[in-house]
Chains A and B, each alone.
Chain A
Amino acid sequence: MARSVSTRRTAVVTLVAWAVALLIFFPILYTIITSFKSEQEAIQGFDLIPSFTLESYRDVQSQYDYFTPFMNSVILSLGSTILALIVAVPAAWSMAFAPSRRTKDILMWMLSTKMMPAVAVLFPIYMLFRDLGLLDSRIGLTIMLMLINLPIVVWMLYTYFREIPGEILEAARMDGASLWGEIVYVLTPMAVPGIASTMLLNIILAWNEAFWTIRLTTTNAAPLTAFIASFSSPQGLFWAKLSAASTLAIAPILIMGWFSQKQLVRGLTFGAVK
C-alpha cells in the first residue's frame, strides 16, 4: 500500500519536474532545432520538426568565416586559463601550506578586486591597450581574461589545497624528502584533481565573458561572444544562421558544464557551499 502511494508520488514528481525542466531548457532546445531549419522555415511560425538541413551551418562558415571567432574563443579561454594557473598555483600553494598572519587579508583583498565593476576601468584599459598596440589582439585579451579570473582561480585552488593534510608533508620530510621532492612527488599528485576542476570552471568563465571581449576587439581577435553580439544589428536577422552559430558557440561549454556541476558550486561560492 505504502509502496504504491510512493510510486504514484514519484510519478507525479517526475512529471512535474520534467515539464519544468523542459520549459527552462526550451530556448536552448528551440535554438538547436532552428539551426537545422532553412531561413524560410525559421520564420514560418512555431514548428518543432525541422527539415534537418545543414544549410545554415554551411552558410555561417562561408559567409561569416565562423572558424576564426571560434578559434579565438578556444585560444583565449585556454590561454588565459593556463596563464592564470601558472601565476595562481604557487600563490594558492603558499597560502595553503605556509599561511602567515596576512593570508586571510590577502585572500579577501583578492576577492575584492573581482568586485570592481569593469566599466570603471574601461577607458584607462582601452587607452593602455591602444598605446601598447594590444587592441583587438589575442595576447591583450588573453592577459585581460587572465586578470579578471585570477582571484577566482587563486581562491578555488586555495580551498582545494587546504584540504590536503599537512601531516603528509611532515611524513615526507621525515623520510628525507627535499622541498622539491615534496612538491613533485607528494603534493602534486594530490593537487591534480583540484587543479583540473579549477581549470574547467575557468575555461567556462573565460569562454562566456562578454564585456571585455566585446569592447576590446573588432575583428582579428573577436571571440564568439563578440561575433554573436554582432548579429544584433538588423541586417543580421537570419535566425537559422544565428541559431547555427549559437548552437556551435554554446555546445562545447554546455557539455563541459554538465560535467563540472560540483566544481561550479564550489568555485563560484568560494568554497562556502560544497
Chain B
Amino acid sequence: MATQQTRTLARFMLAPSVGLLLIWMAVPLALTLWFSFQQYNPLNPIRDGFVGFSNYLLFFNNPAFLWSILNTLLIVASVLVITLVGGILLALLLDQPMWGQGFVRILVISPFFVMPPVAALVWKNMIMHAQYGVLADLMRTVGLEPIDWFGRYPLLSVIIIVAWQWLPFATLILLTALQSLDGEQKEAAEMDGANFLNRFIYLTLPHLARAITVVILIQTIFLLSVYAEILVTTNGGPGYASTNLPFLVAQKATLEFKIGQASAGGIIAVILANIVAFFAMRAVGKNLDR
C-alpha cells in the first residue's frame, strides 16, 4: 500500500523518537555499567580506577543489600495482592446498579492522581501519626493504645500508603474490563441456575484474566521503583527496615558518594526489572498481534 516515497518519509518521521530514546537509554546505561567496575569517589579521587567485580561483592556483602532486595519484593508482592483482591471486589461492587455511581467512581479513583509526596505525607502526619493521627484518635476512642506505625511497622506502613495509591488503578482497569462483559452470557448463566460464586469463577474471572495480567505487569514496573513514599516517611529506616533497592542505590550515590557500589546496585536493579519486563513484553506483545 505504502509507496517508496511514503516509506522514506515514514523513516524520517520515526527517527527523532528512536534516536532520542536510544541515546537516553544507551549512553547513561553504558556509563553506569562502566562505573560499576570503577572505584570512583568525587570526594576522594586519589584511589580511583578499575576494580573488577569488587563493587558487586561489596554491594552483595552489605547487609543492607539483602534487606533492600527482600523489601523490594515484599512491597511489590503485597501491594499486588492488596490491590488485586481489593480491586476485584471494588470493581464488582461498582458494577452493580446504584445511585450516584459516577460520583462514587470519582471518589474511588481519586487517590491515583495524588502525587506521591503528598500521599505519603498526608498518611504519615494526619492519618498514621502516633499522637495526632486520625487512627490514633480512633484507637484512643475505643480505649486502645495508639500504634507507632512508622516506628514499629515501617515497611507495612509504606505498603499501606502505596497500596492506597494503586488500588484505584486496579479498580479502574478491572471495572472497565468488567463492563465489557457480555450481559447475555451473564443472564444465560443465571437462567441455568449458576449461583454468584460459580458465575464469578467460570465467567467473570476468565473474562478478567487479561485485565488482571495487565494490572500485574504495569503495577510491577512502577512498584519496583517506589521511592518518594519511602523518602518522606521512614527515610528507609529504622535501620534498613524499609529500604528498597532504588532507595538504597540513590542513598549510596547521593549521600555516601559510593558511585561504584551505587552503579553496581543500579545494574542489579536493571537485571531485576528485566526479568519482570521479559514477561511483561510477552504479554503485551500478544495483544499487539490480535
Give chain A's interface residues, CB within 8 Å of chain B: 10, 13-14, 16-18, 20-22, 24-25, 27-28, 30-31, 34, 43, 45-46, 87-88, 90-91, 93-95, 97-98, 100, 104, 106-108, 110-128, 147, 150-151, 154, 166, 179, 204, 207-208, 210-211, 214-215, 224-226, 228-229, 231-232, 237, 239, 242-243, 246, 249-250, 253-254, 256-258, 261-262, 264-265, 268-274
Contact = CB atoms under 8 A, between A and B. Distances in A.
A121 B21 contact: no
B43 interface: no
Given A113-B24, A150-B17, A229 B231 contact: yes
A117 B115 contact: no
A117 B273 contact: yes
Contacts of B267: 120
Nearest to B167: A24
Given A104-B288, A269-B211, 20 more contacts: A17-B94, A17-B104, A27-B111, A27-B164, A94-B9, A94-B11, A97-B2, A97-B6, A98-B9, A117-B246, A121-B29, A124-B27, A211-B228, A229-B228, A229-B232, A232-B121, A239-B132, A257-B110, A268-B173, A273-B176
A16 B169 CA distance: 20
A270 B180 CA distance: 17
A93 B29 CA distance: 29
| A-B complex: 4 closest residue pairs judged by Cβ atoms | A90-B13, A94-B10, A120-B266, A121-B28
A229 B250 contact: no
Interface of B: 1-2, 5-7, 9-14, 16-18, 20-21, 24-25, 27-29, 31-32, 35, 90, 93-94, 96-101, 104-127, 132, 134, 137-138, 164, 167-169, 172-173, 176-177, 180, 210-211, 214, 218, 221, 224-225, 227-228, 231-233, 235, 245-246, 249-250, 253-254, 259, 262-263, 265-267, 269-270, 272-274, 276-277, 280-281, 284-285, 287-288
Given A107-B288, A150-B17, A46 B137 contact: yes
A16 B99 CA distance: 11
12 contacts: A88-B17, A90-B12, A91-B13, A98-B6, A111-B284, A117-B225, A118-B246, A210-B115, A211-B225, A232-B117, A257-B110, A273-B177
B263 to A, nearest CB: 6
Most chain B CB atoms below 10 A, which of A17, A28, A43, A95: A17
B99 to A, nearest CB: 5
A208 B281 CA distance: 25
A87 B14 contact: no
Contacts of A87: 16-17, 20
A58 to B, nearest CB: 20
A110 B266 CA distance: 20
Contacts of B168: 24
B32 A124 contact: yes
A44 to B, nearest CB: 8
A111 B221 CA distance: 11
A177 B281 CA distance: 39
B25 A113 contact: yes
B110 to A, nearest CB: 6
Contact of B93 (A20, A112, A154, A268): A20
Contacts of A117: 224-225, 245-246, 266, 269-270, 272-273
A250 B190 CA distance: 44
Contacts of B270: 116-117, 120
Contacts of B231: 214, 229, 232
B17 A110 contact: yes
A39 B274 CA distance: 47
Given A10-B99, A116-B29, A214-B231, A21 B107 contact: yes
Most chain A CB atoms below 10 A, which of B10, B12, B96, B169: B10
Given A10-B98, A14-B99, A119-B266, A125 B28 contact: yes
A116 to B, nearest CB: 6
B176 A229 contact: no
A182 to B, nearest CB: 10
B231 to A, nearest CB: 7
B287 A93 contact: no
A264 B280 contact: no
Given A117-B269, A179-B6, A147 B117 contact: no
Given A88-B17, A246-B122, A17 B114 contact: no
Most chain A CB atoms below 10 A, which of B101, B138, B276, B288: B288
A229 B117 contact: yes
Contact of A25 (B10, B24, B94, B110): B110
Most chain B CB atoms below 10 A, which of A43, A116, A256, A270: A116
Contacts of B12: 90
